[in-house]
Amino acid sequence: MILMPLSCKLSSIACLLSLSLSASTLAYAGSSAPKAPITLSNIESVKALDNQHWLVSSEAQGLNLINQQQQAIAQVKGKFEQIDARTWQTDQGRISVVAAVNKAQNALDLYRFHWQSQTFSLLSRQKISQAGLDGVCLKHNTSENALYAFLIKADMPVEQRWVLDTATLAPQQKVIRELPISHGITSCAVDDNQQAIYIAEALVGIWQFSTHAEAEPDRQPLSLLQPFGRLSQEIEQISVLDDGSVLVSQTGTKQAVRVKTQHKLVSGLPAIEHITLNSAEVEALDGIWQQDTLQLGYYGEDIGLQLIQQTSQAQTPAKLRQFAVVPALVETTPVAKLGDAADDPAIWFNPKQPQKSLVLGTDKQAGLGVYDLQGQELQFIASGRINNVDLVDSFTLNGQDVALASASQRDHNSIALYAIDKRSQQVTELDQVPTNLPEVYGLCMAQYQQQTYVLINDKDGRYQQYAISQDSTGLQGQLVREFKLADQPEGCDVNQATGELFVGVEDMGIWVTHIDPQRAMPLRSVFQLTDKSLAAKWLKDDIEGLAVYQNGDNSYLVVSSQGNDSYALFKASQPYSYLGSFRVTANLYQGIDGASETDGLDVSSANFGGEFSQGMLVVQDGRNVMPVQPQNFKYVAFSSILKQLGLPAKAP
């Protein structure tokens, strides 16, 4: 491989620009006039801003922007270590934001570089008090207009925080979550396209996490040190090239390693490419592609800053599926305990006072919570281990019209019943209907031809359908039907307009039959995870909650795809077309996180007013972060789902 220096040996000149700190005002100077090449020493980090410009941080000479000829363009004086940057286009032009570890202040500095005036301006300085700040890398989420920073803090978990609204350039300071890795970390780098963060553990290797704030914080090895991988020396720094490959500098060797993330060998390990360098002690390294030429910038104390070119071949980045995103508007009070507790919601619409509608939510360790439309808990009924809950809007109980709810009661393998008083909005626990199932699990309710039904299932795949009525002795449940699925079911729901009953099998797919026991038909497949349909490419097991958005010919089946923290929409009538998938993301300004690992969900097409005039979706949140708390439920405006998936709004 041939290395071609872009500049001759560096000559020294005086410091270029001045940054003066007077009270709280930072003043910057810059010039677009060409200057002689400068000599930079004690370099900590190098970052390619584009094919013509490089950011260089130094403990002695601050933060510098230079061109390909190593001529100074702009400078911020100070003592800086690791840096990262993102650039994006707006109607007002090109915006570049730089994050820098300010070692003198133990702070994260955010600077904007102004391309027209060729100057830096300080956007924010976030001081870190609980530990030394050792490193930073950035993630730009364009769908949220959010810039996130991942902070490496001495002997503490890597922290993800929201630092900038990229639409307004308003600085933010909101901790999102922590990643469970803390010791021996030297560097991190983010691939925005693949939603991946790579973290270098000096004597172990490079780990990969998802940057999706709602993802499980599981680490996967990208490339490890020998004998478990192909890296040979201690890792100094890493960076992500614009083709998605990872550039690695190692101590004690005159070679950098390029990890080709999309090229896997027979062993399953990613292919690597060795790049010859002129120093065995490279302390900073980055690169950028220009067609099939890799432009590299690196620094060693013995050779100074080198900007070189190398002929190579960029990998083709994998195309990551981009989910539509909708924000959570409301979150409920968390359940009482950490762990797997909150499970399934049910929505009751109050037609006379929509603002006083209710959401019921199960705590499968303790009972049933009752929430208002602002997410506040109004009641808690200690029913024991109840799993799924559902309701019907009208049922005559002791001569009074009430809403009737039911839940699968796992302590007694029974159906627990509840009444919602439509005047007081009070929920009262009623009788239980026994079943002969050994391990009840999921449940749903429906009314068809003036009969109220509860369907309850067992972990072995059996469904039982009970007709609910009241006689002089109380509420009764008559077993009217039984059928069996191939594996463990949970979610089910009914299209009230057609009587179609949808049932899910967690690791297989969705099937449909009819709610009327007299019209029962063999189960037909809506979709299966193993088929070659478009839906199978977007959904990932477990298939959990199911609910129908009732809207005549435009009724939709909403499905929780637990394995990839997403939700899918299907037509709720033949041919059950797949319409798209979406994720529930954070409402950052409201301090509400998104939803992930969802078990149960419910949906209503009723007009609740305001942002919920087209209905609402309520989902269980399996990982309640921002901050970390016990699980809860999130409310989503259905109008935002319709808009994101290009579906018609519900007629008034």
* Angle, CA 263 vertex, CA 179 and CA 317 arms, to 5°: 70
Look at residues 125, 152, 179 and tell me which one is the last residue of a structural domain: 179
Burial class of residue 284, CB neighbours in 10 A (0-12, 13-18, 19+): buried
The whole-angstrom separation of Cα 594 and Cα 591 is 10
* Angle, CA 213 vertex, CA 207 and CA 215 arms, to 5°: 65
Task: Identify whether 285 is part of a domain.
Answer: no
Number of domains into which the chain is organized? 2
The whole-angstrom separation of Cα 317 and Cα 325 is 22
Nearest to 389 by CA among 315, 434, 455: 455
CB 490 within 8 A of CB 510: no
Task: Identify whether 627 is part of a domain.
Answer: yes
pLDDT, residue 35, reads: 66
Helix (H, G, I), strand (E, B) or coil at 181: coil
The whole-angstrom separation of Cα 150 and Cα 190 is 9
Phi/psi-derived region of residue 344, left when phi > 0, alpha when psi is between -120 and 50, beta in every other case:
beta
Q: Tell me which residue range forms the domain holding 67.
A: 19-29+41-179
Read out DSSP for 294-341?
EEEEEEETTTEEEEEEEE------------EEEE--EEPPPPSSSSS-
Residue pLDDT, tens place only, 222-244: 999 999 988 999 999 999 999 99
Nearest to 603 by CA among 568, 578, 577: 568
Burial class of residue 365, CB neighbours in 10 A (0-12, 13-18, 19+): middle
Task: Identify whether 565 is part of a domain.
Answer: yes
Strand order in the sheet with 133-141: 133-141, 146-153, 158-165, 170-179
Look at residues 159, 179, 199 and tell me which one is the last residue of a structural domain: 179
pLDDT, residue 33, reads: 52
Task: Identify whether 306 is part of a domain.
Answer: no
Could you tell me the CATH number of the domain that includes residue 475? 2.120.10.30
Task: Identify whether 276 is part of a domain.
Answer: no
Task: Identify whether 187 is part of a domain.
Answer: no
pLDDT, residue 575, reads: 95
Residue ranges for the chain with pLDDT beneath 70: 1-35, 266
Our CA dihedral for 531, 533, 537, 539, rounded to 10 degrees, sits at: -80
Contacts of 297-302 spanning 24+ positions with Cβ under 8 A: 297/46, 297/48, 297/54, 297/56, 298/46, 298/249, 298/256, 299/40, 299/43, 299/46, 299/56, 301/41
Task: Identify whether 577 is part of a domain.
Answer: yes
Look at residues 133, 164, 179 and tell me which one is the last residue of a structural domain: 179
Q: Which amino acid is at 269?
A: L
Helix (H, G, I), strand (E, B) or coil at 356: helix
Residue pLDDT, tens place only, 445-481: 999 999 999 999 999 999 999 999 999 889 999 999 9
Task: Identify whether 150 is part of a domain.
Answer: yes
Tokens, residue 548 = 């129908």
